[in-house]
Copies of this chain bind each other. A is one copy, B any other.
Amino acid sequence: MKVSVLRIGHRLVRDDRITTHAALVSRALGSDKIYMTEVDHSINETLEEIAKRWGGKYDFAIEIIEDWRKVIKDWKKEGGKVVLLTMYGINIDDRINQLRKEDRVLVIIGAEKVPREIYDLADYNIAIGNQPHSEIAALAIFLDRIFSGKELKKDFRGAKLKIIPMVKGKMVKEMENNV
């Protein structure tokens, strides 16, 4: 299954760190793209730097967009499904079997308030619990559920560095000509 992420409602400066986390989580937990609006463009450099070191250069992209409505409409026109993560939705565990059968999913995460319109545009309104918490946490658990935890052992091709998991401390292996 292909999963892309659409982040809407970024508030300048205030949300910079959160948005960086959203992009990093999208990449690390198996989605192939994040669409974002009004973002500090340095986020592209951060992600390029990470791909250079930790791999997966061709597996993940950031696209800065102007109009999220267009992204959603194009996605649906091409037969993809749209999922809004919201505390008001149906619990993920009551829809996960159905969701896993989809081919292409666009998962939307927002800042505090999401325009009413999106609730109607979405094919699924999914809650990662019905308590307020964090769109980063919601995205992480969503991706983890969708990919059944397998994304945590995903291989990122072309990494310069690879972690050797350790009981204590850090071990990092330098890879040679890994493309």
Cβ–Cβ contact A132 & B88, under 8 A: no
The A interface is mostly helix, strand or loop, or mixed, namely mixed
Known A133-B24, A137-B136: A88·B14 in contact at CB below 8 Å? no
| CB nearest to A129 among chain B residues | B152
Within 8 A of B (CB), among A79-98: 86-94
User: Number of A residues contacting the other chain (C-beta, 8 Å)?
Assistant: 56
A169 vs chain B, min Cβ distance (A): 5
Contact at A21–B136, with CB atoms within 8 Å?
yes
Chain B CB within 10 Å, residue with most, of A54, A93, A139, A165: A165
Q: Report which A residues bind B (CB closer than 8 A).
A: 14-15, 17-18, 21, 24-25, 27-29, 50, 54, 86-94, 116, 119-120, 125, 127-134, 136-141, 144, 149, 151-154, 156, 162-163, 165-172
20 A–B contacts from the bound complex (CB under 8 Å): A18-B21, A21-B137, A25-B133, A25-B134, A28-B137, A54-B131, A87-B163, A89-B165, A90-B166, A91-B165, A93-B152, A116-B169, A119-B168, A119-B169, A128-B152, A129-B153, A131-B156, A134-B140, A138-B140, A144-B144
